[in-house]
Amino acid sequence: MIGILIVSHGGFGEALIHGASHVLGKRPPNMYQLGVTLHDDPDTILAKAQALVRQLDDGDGVIVFTDILGATPSNIASRLLRPGRVEGVSGVSLPMLIRALTYRNEPLAEVVSRAMNTARECTVHIGCDTRDAPSRN
């Protein structure tokens, strides 16, 4: 099972996990979050993140999600990456996280691809044309 780590600003990662837990009916296993605040030392957070990646990797790899590309959480996440073993995705959203959780028994590259595709598919301008559209599950 692919491990999932969310490295984000403040409590955003925990809020995503809470939202995913609500949608899925229970808190998903093998998933952690690490909130970064203004007062945190990035090197200390990096050490914590490295320890969490080791805990999460049961042999299938880990996806590290982050919120804003170029911000401190994504800079920390980028230092965790190991191609094919620990992959990173920026711009995490609830639909992206749920898709990754749904397909996390697939190979790591496939889960990353599905998460990225979900970001493109679920980012739409809501208007009259989408109001009566069928669900996009």
pLDDT of 134: 61
**Tally of structural domains, the chain:** 1
CA distance 99 to 112: 10
CA distance 127 to 49: 40
Classify residue 92: in a domain, yes or no: yes
Classify residue 28: in a domain, yes or no: yes
Q: What is the pLDDT along the chain (137 residues), one digit of tens a residue?
A: 999 999 999 999 999 999 999 999 999 999 999 999 999 999 999 999 999 999 999 999 999 999 999 999 999 999 999 999 999 999 999 999 999 999 999 999 999 999 999 988 988 888 866 666 665 55
From residue 52, how far is each of 49, 64, 68, 113, 136 by CA, in Å?
5, 10, 20, 23, 33
β partners of residue 34:
7
Classify residue 36: in a domain, yes or no: yes
Enter the pTM of the model: 0.91
Angle (deg, nearest 10), helices 12-24 and 94-102? 50
Classify residue 33: in a domain, yes or no: yes
Classify residue 136: in a domain, yes or no: no
Q: Note down the domain range covering 15.
A: 3-131
User: What CATH number should be reported for the domain holding residue 105?
Assistant: 3.40.50.510
CA distance 29 to 56: 10
- Tell me: the pLDDT tens digits for 65-101? 999 999 999 999 999 999 999 999 999 999 999 999 9
Classify residue 113: in a domain, yes or no: yes
Classify residue 137: in a domain, yes or no: no
Helices (H), 1-137: 12-24, 42-56, 72-78, 94-102, 108-121, 128-131
CA distance 34 to 77: 10
pLDDT of 133: 60
